[in-house]
Amino acid sequence: MRLLHTSDWHLGRSFHRENLHAAQRAFLDHLVETVAAERVDAVLVAGDVYDRALPGLEAVALFDEALWRLSELGVPAVFISGNHDSARRLGTASRLLDRSGIHLRTDPGALAEPVLLADEHGPVAVYGLPYLEPALVRERLGLARGGHEQVLAAAMDGVRADLAARPAGTRAVVLAHAFVTGGAPSDSERDIAVGGVQSVPAAVFDGVHYAALGHLHGCQTLAPHLRYSGSPLAYSFSEAEHQKSMWLVDLDGAGAVEARRVHCPVPRRLARLRNRLDALLTDEQYAYAVDHWVQATLTDPVRPADAMERLRARFPHTLQLLFDPEGGERTDGASYAQRVSGRTDREVVEGFVAHVRPGRELDGGERAWLLEGLEAVRRTAAARAEENAR
C-alpha cells in the first residue's frame, strides 16, 4: 500500500507578514498532482491543518477545495487535529465526510476506531490520534494524573488492544501529533508543554508498522517506521536549511516500510545574513540572497542609521532585522520582542528573574514553583480555548 504522509499545513499562516495564501495553494496543487502521478492509495495528514483555532475564511476555503479534489480522485484521506487546530471545528461533519473517503479524526473518545483500508495483501488499520492535551483527556483515558507521555501511552494501549483483536496479518498505521524524543525542533512550532514534559519516547509507538508524525516542522526520520514529514513551507528563518517535503511510504505485505521524499514547491528561498551593514551591502558573497527572504543580523558596534531601508535597497525582500553588536551583548534600542525571539516561556520568565535579581539564580524550589505556575497557565488557556470552540 502506498501512503502519502504530510502534516503541519498551517493554512492561514503568514511569514513575517508576507501572505502565504498563494504558496499554500501551490503546495496543495502539488499534493493533489502527486497523489495522481504516484498512484497513492491513501493520504495521511498528521495535524495542524490550520494555523489557529479560528481560521480565516481564505484558509477554510482552501481546505474545503483540497478535500473536494482528494474526494474527486477517489483516494481516502485521514486527517487528525493538531495543537493549533480546534478539534471540534476541524471535526465538523466528520461522520458525513467518512462516506466520501475523507476521515477527520479529532475525537479523543474514538482513538481505537481505525479507518480500515485494504490492498492485495489484506487489511490495513489506520488509527488517528489527534493532539491530546493531558489536562483535557486524562479522565477519558482512565488516568488520574500524567502528562503527554502518559496520555499518549494510554492511547497507544487502546490501539494495540484493538489491533490484537483483528485478523492476523493486519498492518497498523498510526497518525500522531506530538514531540517525540530525538526529534529536532525549529522556532516556528508552538510549545505544547512547559520544560521537557512535552516530549514522549519513541517506544510509545512500538507495535505498529508505521507512525506518521506531525508537530515538528523539519522532515526527519527517528526510525524506519517513525517519521516526521515536517511542514510543507518554511514558517521561520530557523528553517532556512530545511528541504520541505512529504514522505511517500510503501508498506509491503509484511508491514515493512520503504519511504522516499517528495519535495515541495519553494515560493522564495530564505537567507540568514550576519555581518556589519557595509559588508552586507557591498560584499559579493551575499549576492545570492538578492531574491531571497532575508533575515539580517547586524554586528556593527553602533546601530547604523536607516539600516532596514539601506538593506532593502540591495535585498528588497528583507523581512527581519536583528542587532548583535561585536564586543558583547547590547540591546541599543532592540525591541523586547526581538530580544526574546526564539525563547521558550520558561526562558523568558527565568531571564526576567535574572534581570530584576542579578547575581542570584533560581534555586530548585523556586524553579519548581515557576514550572508549576507556567503549566497551570497553559492548562487554563487550553481549557478556555476548548470551551470557546464549543
Residues 18 and 54 in one domain: yes
Would 43 be classed as within a structural domain? yes
Domain finish residue from 263, 282, 313:
263
What would the pLDDT profile of 287-331 be if each residue is shown by its tens digit? 999 999 999 999 999 889 999 999 999 999 999 999 999 875 555
Structural domain of residue 284, as residue ranges?
270-342
The residues near 110 (Cβ < 8 Å, ≥ 6 apart) are none
Residue of 180 and 339 predicted with greater confidence: 180
Residue 46, judged by CB atoms within 10 A of its CB (0-12, 13-18, 19+), counts as buried
Cα–Cα distances (Å) from 20 to 26, 59, 243, 266, 315, in that order, read: 10, 10, 18, 11, 19
Residues 256 and 300 in one domain: no
Residues 66 and 116 in one domain: yes
Residues 300 and 175 in one domain: no
**What sign results for the dihedral spanned by CA atoms 365, 367, 370, 376?**
negative
Residue 214, judged by CB atoms within 10 A of its CB (0-12, 13-18, 19+), counts as buried
| Banded pLDDT at 338 (limits 50, 70, 90) | low
What would the pLDDT profile of 175-204 be if each residue is shown by its tens digit? 999 999 999 988 888 776 644 457 899 999
Q: What mean pLDDT is predicted for residues 348-374?
A: 75
Residues 103 and 47 in one domain: yes
Q: Looking at the chain, list the stretches that DSSP marks H as alpha helix, in order from N- to C-terminal side.
A: 21-37, 57-73, 87-90, 94-98, 134-137, 148-164, 277-282, 307-314, 336-339, 345-356, 364-389
How far apart, in whole angstroms, are the C-alpha atoms of residue 155 and residue 70?
28
| Cβ atoms 66, 30 nearer than 8 A | no
Residues 249 and 279 in one domain: no
Of the CA atoms within 13 Å of residue 130, those in its CB half-sphere come to: 27
- Residue 381: count of CB within 10 angstroms of its CB: 10
pLDDT of residue 131: 96
Cα–Cα distances (Å) from 70 to 30, 42, 142, in that order, read: 12, 10, 37
Give the CATH number for residue 228. 3.60.21.10
Task: Match 519548581 to its residue by C-alpha cell.
Answer: 368
Residues 278 and 334 in one domain: yes
Residues 196 and 295 in one domain: no
How far apart, in whole angstroms, are the C-alpha atoms of residue 310 and residue 299?
15
Domain finish residue from 263, 293, 319:
263
Predicted TM-score of the model (pTM): 0.83
Q: Which of 62-76, 95-109, 149-163, 375-389 has the weakest average pLDDT?
A: 375-389
- Residue 50: count of CB within 10 angstroms of its CB: 24
**Number of domain units in the chain:** 2
Residue 354, pLDDT > 70, answer no
Q: What mean pLDDT is predicted for residues 35-39?
A: 97
pLDDT of residue 351: 77
Would 353 be classed as within a structural domain? no
Would 181 be classed as within a structural domain? yes
What would the pLDDT profile of 100-153 be if each residue is shown by its tens digit? 999 999 999 999 999 999 999 999 999 999 999 999 999 899 998 889 999 999
Would 348 be classed as within a structural domain? no
| β-strand partners of 249 | 3, 259
Q: What average pLDDT is seen over the chain?
A: 91
